[in-house]
């Protein structure tokens, strides 16, 4: 019979959640890279921007939750970054910008910082 402590299960859950976040960001980065190559009016761009928007909307909502265990200052900084990413995706979608590289770089930095 297996016996796990609550701390072990909670640690696994946190590790699993962080891995899922890394995977989502990696997928977003891959899609944004393809979109940058295909152009702002391409189907790749539409899909990448929509996916990135959904990912960051979820992240911002989670970061704003009182249940989020990250330090308050870090959460605030990540929310600010998330809101910038959401504005940039909308600007690209509306044809006001084409800054895929900025979205990619910031997403890579955040992904690589998840530990």
DSSP-derived secondary structure letter, 2: -
Q: Give the structural domain span for 55.
A: 19-113
Does residue 43 form part of some domain?
yes
How do residues 33-75 score in pLDDT, each as one tens digit? 999 999 999 999 999 999 999 999 999 999 999 989 899 999 9
* Residue 88 burial class via C-beta count within 10 angstroms: exposed 0-12, middle 13-18, buried 19 and up: buried
Question: Is residue 74 a part of any domain in this protein?
Answer: yes
| pLDDT score for 7 | 47
> pTM of the full predicted structure?
0.86
Number of domains in the chain: 1
Answer whether residue 57 is part of any domain. yes
Does some domain include residue 36? yes
| Confidence grade of residue 14 (pLDDT, cut at 50, 70, 90) | confident
In a domain, 72, yes or no: yes
Q: Is residue 8 part of a domain?
A: no
Q: Are 32 and 107 in contact (CB under 8 A)?
A: yes
Is 85 contained in some domain?
A: yes
Q: Quick check: is 3 in a domain?
A: no
Query: Distance from CA of residue 104 to its chain's centroid?
Result: 10
Say if residue 97's pLDDT is above 70: yes
The mean pLDDT of the chain is 90
């Amino acid at each position: 019979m297996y016996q796990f402590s609550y701390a072990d299960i909670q640690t696994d859950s946190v590790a699993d959640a962080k891995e899922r976040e890394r995977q989502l960001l990696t997928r977003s980065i891959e899609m944004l890279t393809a979109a940058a190559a295909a152009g702002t009016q391409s189907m790749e761009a539409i899909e990448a921007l929509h996916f990135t928007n959904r990912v960051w909307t979820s992240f911002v909502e989670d970061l704003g939750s009182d249940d989020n265990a990250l330090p308050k200052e870090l959460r605030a900084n990540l929310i600010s970054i998330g809101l910038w990413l959401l504005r940039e995706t909308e600007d690209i979608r509306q044809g006001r910008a084409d800054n895929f590289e900025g979205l990619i770089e910031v997403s890579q930095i955040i992904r690589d910082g998840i530990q």
